[in-house]
Structure 1
Amino acid sequence: MTETACDALLAWEARCKSLGLLMTAPRRAILIAMLEFGTAHDAVTLLQAAREHHAATSLGTVYRLLRELEQLGLVQAHAPAHGRCHWRLHDSHSTTPEPAPGNVRIMVKQVQHFLRELEKLGFAEAQPAVYSSVAVPRLANHSPVDPTVDLLQSIAERLGYRLA
């Protein structure tokens, strides 16, 4: 492996670790294979290449890692009309991953950041998080005609905030 490829691998491992992924030998081998290819490939091709770096890598590990990386916005999946899905790493020069559409973890972080910003502006205040299946009561000074405010209040309370 070249010095540049080694640096790229270290950078990708750091990105994965910063997002909570455990880097095992099979996962590292899959990342190496993806970096070596540089273009989109299917899981079986990635498995064959990864096994050159870690023989015990399994197809299940390849699919699990690809799914996790896709959820974190680190890979793109391309599903042709007839054939296997192909994955490729996002541009390794980018410092922040592009969020995958529908990624719940990223959306929750964005909402939490939004609520912290509202708190700084005096429109919300942090409070102990209450997780229950009980419906959240409406704000007294908002009419039931405004469902957006009710929804935002519900989300805020689930994340430990109260809108002012």
Structure 2
Amino acid sequence: MSDGVQQAILGGGCFWCLEAVYQQVKGVERVVSGYAGGHVPNPDYETVCTETTGHAEVVQLQFDPRIVSYRQILEIFFVIHDPTTLNYQGNDVGARYRSVIFTLDDEQMHVAKELVSELSQGKHFSRPLVTEIKAAPTFYPAEDYHQNYFQTHPFQGYCMAVVGPKVSKFKKTFQMLIR
């Protein structure tokens, strides 16, 4: 990344939700929905949905740490999804919806583990966190029709019922980080 831009790869349910939120964050320059963490090269949506590839639906972020820190990226992540549910978010069920942080270097690994420890010790959640923290595997961009999904389909049922409320929760909780 040039000009000090960094990357983050996160999975916390449907990638449309994470994408829609992070597109609203000051300092996030690019968000790409995709797949990571599985054993099948070049997966597509249909095969990921079979739960046989091992991939999670994730977003890859490019962000300017002078505007939004990696820790703030993760703080948003822990507010907009439930990190205590193993392999599901709401009605989205399957390992592809798991809570996972794929770190790109030792510093990200340290920050992620430190924050998970703080959240676990602070009893911010009524159940234990199940978020996986792993070194980043290969990231595969999702098909074009999955990119910018909420922006292009705001009145689609899932977007109105699931994505929209997550965007609203972000805006209410992180007003200082809204674009």
TM-score by length of 1: 0.25
Which protein has the larger Cα radius of gyration, Structure 1 or Structure 2? 1
Of Structure 1 and Structure 2, which has the larger fraction of its residues in helix? 1
Return the structure number with greater strand share.
Answer: 2
